[in-house]
């Protein structure tokens, strides 16, 4: 695992570059405060109701992407750069999904089909694509050991199987398998990107 100060410095630089890329896109990506928008406040209340209080931190702890807008909690500017970068990379995947599939497909397949709660296969697959990017970002910024950490694994499994996303995929072993497969791919990517070490006869 990289030393914390090195990871934070690199994350701060990467975060600045990512926000610049967001702003320069043909369709810029906006990062705005969630509580300033009535529809996000309404969504928070609705989620609290349908999850019987299980999702009670929608406005204060969670980031949401709709189209080309990323809605963040009010304290987002004070987040550690590593955390902010990893989450924005996750959310950028959702922006790409909106661009690929359009609003109608995203709303129907993410929110409704095949079931809105309990067995939301499409929501799980959309989220898995984004969580794989989360693992990739953690591995690149904090190191592969951090991406393999049991605590991160448990948190991802909890989110898929718990009330955060409406119990979207209640099969933890499936999520565990997705994580294992992703980590193998990510480790291979990092190995290919790593500079080769000169052999002894070339020194």
In terms of Cβ atoms closer than 10 Å to its own Cβ (0-12, 13-18, 19+), residue 79 is: middle
What pLDDT is stored for residue 202 in this prediction?
A: 41
Tabulate helix, strand, coil % of the chain (nearest 5): 70, 5, 25
What pLDDT is stored for residue 7 in this prediction?
A: 67
Residue 53 DSSP one-character state: T
Q: Show me where the domains of the chain are located.
A: 4-192
pLDDT along the chain (203 residues), means of 10: 66 91 95 92 86 80 93 92 94 97 93 82 95 95 94 96 89 96 95 66 41
* The model's pTM: 0.86
What pLDDT is stored for residue 104 in this prediction?
A: 95
What pLDDT is stored for residue 172 in this prediction?
A: 95
Assigned token pair, 176: 């565990």
């Amino acid at each position: 695992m990289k030393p914390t100060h090195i990871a934070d410095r690199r994350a701060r630089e990467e975060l600045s570059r990512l926000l610049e890329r967001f702003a320069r896109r043909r369709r810029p990506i906006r990062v705005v405060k969630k509580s300033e928008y009535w529809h996000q406040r309404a969504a928070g209340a609705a989620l609290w109701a349908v999850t019987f209080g299980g999702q009670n931190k929608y406005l204060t702890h969670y980031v949401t992407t709709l189209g080309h807008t990323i809605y963040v909690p009010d304290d987002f500017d004070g987040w550690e750069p590593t955390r902010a970068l990893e989450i924005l990379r996750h959310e950028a995947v959702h922006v790409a999904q909106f661009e690929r599939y359009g609003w109608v497909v995203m709303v129907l397949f993410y929110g409704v089909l095949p079931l809105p709660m309990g067995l939301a296969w499409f929501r799980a697959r959309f989220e898995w694509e984004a969580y794989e990017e989360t693992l990739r970002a953690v591995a690149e910024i904090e190191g592969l050991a951090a991406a393999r950490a049991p605590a991160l694994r448990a948190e991802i499994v909890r989110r898929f199987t718990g009330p955060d996303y409406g119990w979207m995929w209640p099969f933890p072993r499936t999520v565990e398998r997705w994580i294992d497969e992703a980590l193998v791919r990510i480790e291979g990517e990092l190995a290919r990107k790593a500079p080769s070490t000169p052999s002894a006869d070339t020194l």
